[in-house]
Structure 1
Amino acid sequence: MKPEAASPSPGPSRRLGAWFDLAEPGIVTLKTGKVELGQGILTALRQIAAEELDLPLDAIAVVSGDTAVSPFEGGTVGSMSVQVSGPLVREAAAELRQRLLRAAAMRSQVLAAELTTAAGRFYRDGAPLGDTFWTVAGEIDFDAAISGDAPVKPPDRYRIVGASPRHAGLQDRLGGGVYIHDIAPAGMLHGRILRPPHPQARLGAVAADKVAAMAGVLHILRQGDLIGVIAADEHTLSVAMERLARACDWQPPQPNDRSRTVLDILEQHAGQDSVIRDDPGVADAAGDRVEATYTKPLIGHGSIGPSCGIAVVDPDGISVWSHSQSVFALRDQIARVTGLAVDRVRVRHAQGAGCYGHNGADDAAMDAVLLARAAPGRPVRVQWTRRDELVSEPLGSPMRVRIVASVAGGRITGWEMETRSGTHMRRPGWNGEINLLGPAAAAGGWSFERQKDLPAHNGGTKNAVALYDMPQRVTHQFVSDLPFRLSALRSLGAFANVFAIEGVMDELADKAGIDPVAFRLAHLSDPRARAVIERAAALSGWSDPCPPGCGLGLGFARFKNTGSYCAVVALVAVEEQVELRRMWAAVDAGLAINPEGIVAQVEGGMLQAASWALKEAVPTEGTLLTAETWKDYPILSFAEIPEVEVDVISRPEEDSTGVGEVSLGPAAGAIGNAVARALGIRIRDLPMTRERVVDAVMNS
């Protein structure tokens, strides 16, 4: 069957052939717009398809994130792949099985209701018929729309969904050779764009004659403030880029006050207020008050492998390989910049080093396209340097959260929360803009415009409304013109909001003289929320005495207040610095498609949250980003990883929800509360470094 032509789409295709292909005997190929980022999504979707088709898992192949073949499903974002794509795959697979049954029944002149299927064969009264899925597939109209009428299998008959098979391609990923960095098409060249020393710097004169004369340097590209090199090999490229950097005269931006911190800048820029929730009586609440301000710094993705992209430009169009999470949006912006129709641009997802959010992957791909236009017919590979990654990728916005709350008689009587941040969304195409560095630097009119955040209860307001039963007034102060490149980073605003909410919940519990777990349960009527808190507390031995010098802390949230539930308990020891010893979590994601996959995702989120909470902050001098190496931006090391235990509460009667971001806010809250218990002093500013611990003790 011919691949479905790529075109902008408002939603997923309803054509059966957009989802499944039976061209290869013995294999059903599932096509999905979602991509694998290490979260196990392709395995989970294969499980759903195999379950509905009564096939073994190894009979389901997958094509993922190929804009020329895959159905449009937006980006792989928001912890929504299983939640949104899963039902679509289930519905399409049920439709495919129904159509195959009808085709087989027609051939055998029996009723479709008399037939059953197993392993791709048809049976009547237990006896196999001569046909298989593949022998009757040619009689199905794959161009016809999915009706939505095919019955899906009830959960009590699941055999594959709910099991934990190994993730697709895991062994290959462990051994390497499958990542975008390993792709080497014949005739491949190497290129790189030189980034300015400051985002607002302008490129003046360039004395590049000696660079152009180097053996192996094939082309120097200059368009406005964009300058880059194409070379025959990586070593020549590296030397050429060093020489080019010395040959460029960058004109500095307006004076930069290097004494201002990121949080100074966040407060000094104007904010736009919007009320997210406003319950009556909050301002007049009686009782003991807690007033607290919590902060989160500017943070990066910290991907171990730097961003990479490969592009080929030829008369037929442009082919791109990228580890982007948004291959369709990237395709659309490449078409827009190059002036091609979208069906002449093909973006194929390739494995990256792992990243949740908008890192430099899209930029590296666009860099490759801009350079490849100067070398028609030759693949051009762009791999960012570590410095590029640290200073040029989009970053997670700094945030400041202020809460004033009151408690009387063991109940929260009022809660006022004000959360302040920049944007959490600037992916390619967002707000109608290209949002990529290369086009913004080139003289093409693609400069970055004024920032816009996601709608309420997303972006900076994600999880700003607490799930607890209490009167709340929640305000968001959006700062639209922060002088940093900001975009999506795992959990968006939920990380800081939940960190602050859970810290104040402990502070209120202390005011009320009530155990923090009991205090939370007293403010939760949602039985699923109560269950994860009770389970996490039980796993950790919450009521047992804590070792000397240590502290236990708990954090809880339901991601977006509509997704999965998660509670985390952390055990820390604190002397001059925080030692994270153990972590426990309970998670409820509804129907658990792959329980071990859920565990892996929750564990990963907890460890990334620990790294953010204890170590990570982008170093700056005013608006200048100064990091060069990992020494300047340390992340949690293998030696610092604590023992982690995760328990999955599966609820087959509930819809599946995503878990990629569910544990980050609760983990930060748990660590912050554990530090407060161990130290006797609360640290409200992240990260909780050795310097902050010492300052807290000295100033207490």
Structure 2
Amino acid sequence: SPDAVALKTARTDRTPNEGFTAGSMSISFGGQALRWAASALLVQMLDAAGERLGRPPRDLRVEDGEILRNGVSTGLKLLDFASAADLSCRVADLAKPKAEGDRWKTFRDIPRIDLKERLVGTPFVHDMTAPHMLHGAPVHPPSMHSALDSLDLDALRARPGVVEVVRDGSFVGVVANAPLAAARAAEWAAKSGTWQATLVEEIDPVEFIAASTADAQTIVETGNVNRNIGRWYETTVTRPFIFHGSIGPAAAVAVWDGDEATVWTHSQGVFQLRKAIAVALRTVEEKLSVIHVPGAGCYGHNGADDVAFDAVLMARAVPGRHVKVVWSRRDEFRAAPMGAAMATTVRGLLGPDNDLTAIDVMVNSAPHTSRPGAGGTPNLRAAAYLENPIQPARSADVPVARGGGADRNAAPTYKVGSIRVQRRLVHDLPYRTSALRSLGAYNNVIAIESLMDDIAHDLGVSPLDFRLQHVADQRSRDVLQRIEVKTRKAREVPLPEGAGWGLGFARYKGTGGYCAVMVRLEVDGDVRVTDAFAFADVGEAVSPEGVKNQVEGGMLQSISWTLKEAVQVDGISTTVESWTDYPILRFSEAPRVSVELVERPGAFPLGAGEISQGPTGAAVCNAVRVALGIRVCDLPITRDAIIAAANA
């Protein structure tokens, strides 16, 4: 039964290197590998059972850990034959994964057996304890471009509870006997030290990105978008920098034993982090063990890797003692990578038959990845502060072959005669950006879907029908038609003034899961989404409830991004200190949400974690247009943004 299975997460000393858990690819790749490996083990164990019983293995099957022959118990347990399995076997030679019709006869809906531990236990890296554990806190510079001039280290060491102070270049870490003592000492040091700014030119980053005239890279070009006849439509959608906003800040634990270190982290890529730390310390990877432990959750590349390196640097000063480092909320807001600000311009050409004959997309964006190891450098915040620093590489962004970064989903999920997608990466910003859930897809889908709605409204046709006129395949058609049927009764109810329905749709990365979203919202100064519906197609849904949870979570996060979230900056650094400065969707503002699946048990699993962000944001933007009669193109859609759009 599921209770008998314990799943161990990634660690560099025991598990295979499967890269980052990112891009909605965990089930598509890691899950498939696990299925085949489990099948290879099962084949060997049933072969051994068949030999003992004198029966062919094809007569045997397993139910709740018990081996049955022709449906009758043999009195044998599967685990009785664990020793017969050769764990070094070539999986592809032995595995016989179950056929589609034989799957899910038991355990179709597995209870969340992990929830009890998560709710009342101590499963997170933040909860870790060890004998004689110490606690660390970094003293972050005021910005990425600040160097430490002076700090009274003796006075810092004399602060209450301080055990050790680490200084290496502009990196300063405080090790203390209690978390509060470490935090207070680090806060004192941040205020008492003097820093030299190495970047003094202040800019408006969103305007800087939108106005960039850097050379554009052509990502997709089919046909010639300029050799067409018809009427052009155009829209530009901008989004600001966005935080991950995890409910708990980044944390890690590290300990040194001689010249070897072990670090416990909630990083999304333990092997990549190990290599990055080794490069930063100028040592070999074999001297480092990196073990994944759950954290508060993140949506890409947040501060998890940085805090792990902080812990390693501080623990090195107190060998043999575990050091736990938990960033403060201010650290999280000031030091962690952010989601990139973007400006996406979409032009669509409507031909004589009211078909889209060309779409031309230009994406201006900061890079969407600076993960550890990208560009051949550690890309760890503290590594750039050391006496012998290693500055982060200039990001080339996520390659198109891996779904793209800024250009992700910039090619529309529709049949269009000619398509051109161009990308301008904007570097040399005073802020660090990296992967945030769905990367550029969120903004690009909103821009494309806004254009689809604008054209449909101009033609006086249903936005749904206009999309169905241009869908590229039956699976796209299915989710769109099902969302229409699902919401038909609710949409027949007359809307009050200032209310509207909106639709958004996309296939994630053009190769992943399909998602159609409809929302109902009301505008009374502020925008409030009352209802949100989604239909998703992710191929085989290994855990239907898990898929629905992922889609629902993405919808709520997207609503929060679209209506509320924007990182405040002063041109050199972020100015956010607490949640007061960075509003997010509250529980009291959460809409009623309904998610249903188009299940295809025989299809390849496509992943679900990032398919709903773009369609949901698009649905909200389109519903606001219906409710107010104006298009708000600069996100988030706050009261001020609505006023600005109305006066434009």
- Following superposition of structure 1 onto structure 2, how do residues 275-354 of structure 1 map, counting pairs within 5 Å? 275-315=218-258, 317-354=260-297
d(CA) in 2 for partners of 1:248, 1:291: 51
* Structure 1 residue 176: Cα displacement: 4.9
In the other structure, the counterpart of 1:40 is none
* Structure 1 residue 221: Cα displacement: 0.9
Secondary structure of the structure 2 residue equivalent to 1:238: helix
In the other structure, the counterpart of 1:443 is 387
In the other structure, the counterpart of 1:182 is 127
- Following superposition of structure 1 onto structure 2, how do residues 285-684 of structure 1 map, counting pairs within 5 Å? 285-315=228-258, 317-408=260-351, 409-456=353-400, 457-470=403-416, 471-541=418-488, 544-548=492-496, 549-684=498-633
In the other structure, the counterpart of 1:41 is none
The alpha-carbon distance between structure 1 residues 426 and 125, as it changes in their structure 2 partners (threshold 3 A), is: same
* Structure 1 residue 243: Cα displacement: 2.0
Q: Deviations over 1:423-475 (max 9, x none)?
A: 11111111111001111111233112222211124111110100111121211
- Following superposition of structure 1 onto structure 2, how do residues 123-142 of structure 1 map, counting pairs within 5 Å? 123-125=68-70, 128-129=73-74, 131-142=76-87
In the other structure, the counterpart of 1:95 is 40
The alpha-carbon distance between structure 1 residues 204 and 348, as it changes in their structure 2 partners (threshold 3 A), is: same
Secondary structure of the structure 2 residue equivalent to 1:251: strand
Secondary structure of the structure 2 residue equivalent to 1:62: coil
* Structure 1 residue 627: Cα displacement: 0.7
The alpha-carbon distance between structure 1 residues 161 and 130, as it changes in their structure 2 partners (threshold 3 A), is: closer
- Contact kept? 2:235, 2:450, Cα under 8 Å: no
Consecutive unaligned residues of structure 2, counting only runs of 5 or more, are none
In the other structure, the counterpart of 1:217 is 162
| Equivalent of residue 216 in structure 2, options 239, 249, 273 | 273
- Contact kept? 1:164, 1:597, Cα under 8 Å: no
The alpha-carbon distance between structure 1 residues 228 and 269, as it changes in their structure 2 partners (threshold 3 A), is: farther
* Structure 1 residue 554: Cα displacement: 0.2
The alpha-carbon distance between structure 1 residues 349 and 168, as it changes in their structure 2 partners (threshold 3 A), is: farther
The alpha-carbon distance between structure 1 residues 148 and 616, as it changes in their structure 2 partners (threshold 3 A), is: farther
* Structure 1 residue 274: Cα displacement: 1.5
Q: Deviations over 1:660-696 (max 9, x none)?
A: 0000000000000000000000001110011111223
The alpha-carbon distance between structure 1 residues 195 and 174, as it changes in their structure 2 partners (threshold 3 A), is: same
d(CA) in 2 for partners of 1:110, 1:163: 29
* Structure 1 residue 316: Cα displacement: 6.8
d(CA) in 1 for partners of 2:281, 2:106: 44
Question: AA paired with 2:40?
Answer: E
Matched, 1:686 2:620: no
d(CA) in 2 for partners of 1:114, 1:572: 57
* Structure 1 residue 281: Cα displacement: 4.2
* Structure 1 residue 115: Cα displacement: 3.4
* TM-score, length basis structure 2: 0.95
d(CA) in 1 for partners of 2:407, 2:494: 35
d(CA) in 2 for partners of 1:269, 1:403: 16
- Contact kept? 1:592, 1:651, Cα under 8 Å: yes
Question: AA paired with 1:523?
Answer: H
- Contact kept? 2:374, 2:395, Cα under 8 Å: no
Secondary structure of the structure 1 residue equivalent to 2:91: coil
Q: Deviations over 1:122-141 (max 9, x none)?
A: 34455544653333322332
| Equivalent of residue 116 in structure 1, options 36, 49, 61 | 61
d(CA) in 1 for partners of 2:55, 2:486: 56
Secondary structure of the structure 1 residue equivalent to 2:8: strand
Q: Deviations over 1:380-432 (max 9, x none)?
A: 01111111111110111111111221224321122111111121111111111
* Structure 1 residue 110: Cα displacement: 4.2
Q: Deviations over 1:43-102 (max 9, x none)?
A: xxxxxxxxxxxxx22222111122222222111111011111121111111111111122
* Structure 1 residue 608: Cα displacement: 0.5
Q: Deviations over 1:596-617 (max 9, x none)?
A: 1111111100010011101111
d(CA) in 2 for partners of 1:126, 1:669: 52
Question: AA paired with 1:508?
Answer: I
- Contact kept? 1:220, 1:230, Cα under 8 Å: yes
Moved more, 315-324 or 268-277: 268-277
d(CA) in 2 for partners of 1:645, 1:141: 46
Question: AA paired with 2:67?
Answer: F
Consecutive unaligned residues of structure 1, counting only runs of 5 or more, are 1-55
Secondary structure of the structure 2 residue equivalent to 1:416: strand
- Contact kept? 1:546, 1:552, Cα under 8 Å: no
d(CA) in 2 for partners of 1:435, 1:635: 28
In the other structure, the counterpart of 2:174 is 229
d(CA) in 1 for partners of 2:96, 2:84: 21
Matched, 1:156 2:101: yes
The alpha-carbon distance between structure 1 residues 504 and 345, as it changes in their structure 2 partners (threshold 3 A), is: same
Question: AA paired with 2:623?
Answer: A
- Contact kept? 1:120, 1:132, Cα under 8 Å: yes
| Equivalent of residue 88 in structure 2, options 143, 151, 163 | 143
* Structure 1 residue 555: Cα displacement: 0.3
Secondary structure of the structure 2 residue equivalent to 1:458: coil
The alpha-carbon distance between structure 1 residues 167 and 528, as it changes in their structure 2 partners (threshold 3 A), is: same
- Contact kept? 2:565, 2:584, Cα under 8 Å: yes
Moved more, 145-154 or 547-556: 145-154
d(CA) in 2 for partners of 1:514, 1:534: 16
d(CA) in 2 for partners of 1:670, 1:130: 57
Secondary structure of the structure 2 residue equivalent to 1:620: coil
d(CA) in 2 for partners of 1:334, 1:413: 50
Percent identity reads 39
* Structure 1 residue 143: Cα displacement: 2.0
* Structure 1 residue 344: Cα displacement: 3.0
d(CA) in 1 for partners of 2:281, 2:512: 39
In the other structure, the counterpart of 1:17 is none
- Contact kept? 1:269, 1:481, Cα under 8 Å: no
- Contact kept? 2:141, 2:190, Cα under 8 Å: no
Matched, 1:57 2:57: no
d(CA) in 1 for partners of 2:160, 2:225: 72
- Contact kept? 2:300, 2:436, Cα under 8 Å: yes
- Contact kept? 1:271, 1:480, Cα under 8 Å: no
Secondary structure of the structure 2 residue equivalent to 1:631: helix
- Following superposition of structure 1 onto structure 2, how do residues 71-110 of structure 1 map, counting pairs within 5 Å? 71-110=16-55
Question: AA paired with 1:536?
Answer: I
The alpha-carbon distance between structure 1 residues 517 and 136, as it changes in their structure 2 partners (threshold 3 A), is: same
In the other structure, the counterpart of 1:169 is 114
d(CA) in 2 for partners of 1:240, 1:281: 62
Secondary structure of the structure 1 residue equivalent to 2:7: strand
- Contact kept? 1:462, 1:494, Cα under 8 Å: yes
- Contact kept? 1:407, 1:511, Cα under 8 Å: no
Moved more, 331-340 or 652-661: 331-340
* Structure 1 residue 539: Cα displacement: 1.8
